[in-house]
Structures are given as structure tokens and as C-alpha cells.
Structure 1
Amino acid sequence: MTLHSLSRRSLVALASACALSCAWTVASAAAAFDFSPEQKGRVRAEKDATAIQAIPKNFKFVKEGVFTVAIAPFAPPIATYASDAKTVVGFDPDYAQLIADALGLKLELLPIAWADWPLGLSSGKYDAVISNVGVTEQRKEKYDFSTYRLGLHGFYVRADSKITSIKEPKDIAGLKVITGSGTNQERILLEWNKQNIAAGLKPVEVVYFDDDAARLLGVVSGRADANFNPNAPQAYHAAKDGKIKLVGTVNAGWPLKSDVAITTRKGSGLADALTLATNGLIKSGKYTQALQRWSLLEEALPKSETNPPGLPKF
């Protein structure tokens, strides 16, 4: 296996090139996505009596009549800042609003740094975290989960690439694939490569880039055959400018699964109500509408679960 890393000088040059050829603004992306603070197209839902009834009688929300949710505005289309640079928009905010509607509550979003959510949730600063948190067995020791989106990593190639499908280890044999160092997707890629070598297939060449802009340009410029990283940000770029296309997805917990979930305090009793609310939204079609609004239909769950098996400890 050949491991290739760009030098710092090359990375800087590549990033500079991307700033010229791939730069985008909220205004230029508005044609495909709504980044306005008003969010007039946001999907809304009716109260769900079954979910409301499942809220424990002794559960105390941070604010009476309000569903207080922590969210990290890290990247579109999951969560980012609107054109006013202060309103949080994206699929996770839309989904949080749907849950608040289903529970008959007002929604208050608290923007946070992603790394801060465990302490804030444990200390009672918010009722829940809706911010791309994956279910893991280690996290389940301290938190409860209600799943709401598939945890997917995606293989994306240049729009005119002859590669049409990457679904299993043999499909990456001999390819040059971008991924993130020290990540779960790297673990999957290296395990697939190990299986290929054992089967006598050509090794993969792993290419490491530090940011999404460089990864995008790496594929578009032909420096790599594919980018294997979290699906949602790549789906956003594919929908926005059409320069890349999806050719396969893999669950983040491969060979098991690790889906994305609402995170609540362990034993608070709120998780079951949130799971019921999500399943009601799935049944009504509101959930699908919200996913479609942000080009994330491939991440739709058929059913929400409370505390399902998650990514094991490695």
C-alpha cells in the first residue's frame, strides 16, 4: 500500500487554487439552498399526542414550554450560519424544529462548539443535543439516544468519472482515494485495503487532505479518483455545483452501524418521547421533506430507535 501526503507547501498551494476556482459564498449557493435567516421554506409539523404523552411527568425542561437544543454550526447542509451570520440553518435545525412542533414546544437553539456538548448536556444547560452525534457504545454509558439519520460516509468522484459504483472492498482496488487521517473512515478504508491485498488485488493509494476544500479540488482536478469522507458535506457540494457525484455509501460503524441520534441525559426518560416523535414525523412524510430540502434523502432512516447498538469500543 502506498500512503501519499501532500507537503505543507503543496497543501497551501492547493488551498489557494481552490480559493480561486472553488470558492463559494452564501449568496451564490442560494439558488440551490436557502441560507436566509427567515427560512420561509422550513417544514413544520403538528403536535403528536402520543409523543407528548410519553414525556415523563417529572421531566423538567430547561425552560418551561421550550425545547432547548444545543447545536454546532460546523458545515452545510447539516448546520451552518445563515446570511446574517447569527441564525443557525440546515437540516439539524429543521429537524429540531419538527421535534419541538411534535412535542408542542417552542424551539430554542443554542450554538456551541461541538466538543462542548457532553459537559453542557450533563450539567443541564440544554434538554438535548441535535448535532450530528453518532451512537457509540461508550457514549451510551452516559447518554441516551434517539436515532434520526443514517451515519454515512460517501464515496464521491468527479462528475464525468467512469467510476459508477463503490460498494465493497474490491471496488477500491488500485484507486487513489482521499480520506481523513485518524478518522473512522480511514479505519474502514484501510481494512478494505487489507482484505484486497489478502485477496491478491491491487492496493489502494490513500491520500490525506486536511480540509473539505482541498478534498473537493483533489477529486475535481484529477489528483485522486475518489473522496471517502462524511456524506453530508459532499452531498451539499454535489447538489450545489454538480462537479462531483455519489457512487456509494458505507455506514460509519462498518461492519456494524453507528447512526446519528438526538442525545439526552442518561435516564432522563425523554428519549422514548423523542423516538416516538421521530417515527411520527417519518410516517407523516415531514421527515422526508426536511431531508429532501437539504439534499440528504440518502441518509433517511426507515425507523427511529432508542439506544440501538452503536459503534463498539476499538
Structure 2
Amino acid sequence: MGGSMQLKKLLVVVDEKHNRHPALKRAVCLAKQSSATLEILLVNYESSFDGFLSFSKEKKAEKDSYLANKKKWLDSLVQPIKEQGITVNTTVRWNKVYYKEILIFADEIKPDIIFKSAYSENMIKRLFITNSSWQLIRNCKYPLWLVQHSDWDNNNICVALDPLHTSDKPAYLDNELISISQALSKVLNISADYLHSYAAMPKPQLFGGEQSEAYEQYFKGFVKEHTEAFEGLLSHYPEITKNHQFLLEGFAEEVIPNFIKQHNISLMIMGAVARGSLDNLLIGHTAERVLESIECDLLVIHPKQPPTHGDTK
């Protein structure tokens, strides 16, 4: 079943403000294994080139020269990669809204994965997810790989599944996550673990015998429902053995980071679903809290088919 993901074209978004480029390193690692082409994108904006003066010939020449310099810098950055025999194309674009230009360019080239560094070395570490990364998580229809560190331990992949679709995820998204993880684990020659976490309603503080019994029944039914859904989903994939299946009790933002530490996970794959006009409030609800507590890379996948009800973006 699975393995449908092609790895022919990888888009890497480079940020020149940093002298380290973990996303580029990660994409190079994958390109070596898969013979994919790398498309490197640098998005620039300089407010002094905008406004009424920008219509003058001098200003236009200045802007062209500015962009040509950026292109030169980008080409020199990727030269050592080209020397390793990897096919690399570079593009410099101009847009005040950084993430929008990434999406526009992605639609033009249709990459298999977009790589972006998530730079988490700042002092207030847990504010590291920038607004542009969140906008990409919400709006990017291509697989988005957020890279946290330059070093790639190449340990294990972990896939967070949601077989009961409690996060409004369409059923086929779990199969998409499994398919992608299988393709990547094959290319990178590492194993993948599959997990589902569930949290029941807490036990009421004040209860008599009857209420206690009712709660026990609720809890048993709740666990049974999640167990059956998880096992039912994975029963379609006999190649995923029991020792790679993990059903965890607890809140995702607590149990997933613990799992990642214990199992030496280098990459976590999870699904994201934008939900119409509420997506700004809801999309990050679990993803954000998980992301801000994990130390590994994150690959976010949106469902391929568009929602059938009119999405108003």
C-alpha cells in the first residue's frame, strides 16, 4: 500500500540573515539518497526600493543590481553542492510578504517537499516558530519539512496518526502520512514508528460508587474505541510490525515529546488541516504545542484533495 511519494524535486527556502542553513543540509542529504533536483529559493524585500521613487530608471537599476548581488551570493552558497554532482537551480524573488512568495513559487515548480529552517537557537527558545513558518503550516499544500538543527542523526521517523479524525482530519490523510513515511524510511534507510495518543476526560473529583462505575465504563469504552481504530488502520499495512506501533495515553503535547526523546526520533510526520475562517485559531492547537516541545525535525502534510465544502481562503 504506500510508497507513492516521489522524490524528484526538493524546494529549499534559504534565509540569508543566518549563516547556518540546516534546511539546505537536510535537503542535500535527501537529494544524495534519491537523486532529486534541488530548487533553492531566496525571497528578498527592501522597503527603500518601493514607493513613488521606484518608478525612476535609477531606482530600477539599483534594485536590479541589488537582486543580481543576491543571486550571486546564492549561487556561491550552492556551488559546493553542485560539485557533489547534485543538480541545483537557484531563484531570487521579490515580495514584501515572505511566505506568499514561497507559496507562489511552489505552485510554479510543484516540489515534492519544501524544506525550511526553523532556527531555534535564540534566547527565548520557545518563540522560535516564526509567523512565516506558521503561515506555511496553515497554507502550504505541499509537504513542509521544518528543520531544527544542522546535524542529522538519521535515527528514526515517527508518524502521529489520528484514526478517529478527532482533529477534523479526513480519513485518507492518515494513509497519506503512512505512504510518505514509508517512502522516506526506504530512501533514508531508517525505520518508522507509528503512534496515536489519546486523552480521556479526567475522572470527576467527587463521585459515589455509581458515578465511579459509570466513569470506569466510559474510560474502558474510550480506550477500546481508540485501540480498535488504531489497530484497524494499521491492519491494512501488514509490513508495519507490532513493535513499531505505539498507542499512548495522555495529551499529545506531553506524550509525543517524551516518545521522541526516548526513541531517538530525528523526524516527526504529522497532518495539518486548515479549517476555513477559523484556521488561524485552530490549526496550531495541537501542532503548535507539540512543535514547541519537540527537539526534532517536523514534516507537516496537508490532505491532497481540497475540502469539498467551499474553503474561503
Classify the TM-score, shorter chain: under 0.3
The two structures have a TM-score, normalised by structure 2, of 0.23
The two structures have a TM-score, normalised by structure 1, of 0.23
Structure exhibiting the larger radius of gyration computed from Cα positions: 2
- Going by fraction, where is helix more abundant, 1 or 2? 2
If asked which structure has higher relative contact order (CA below 8 Å, sep 6+), I would say 1
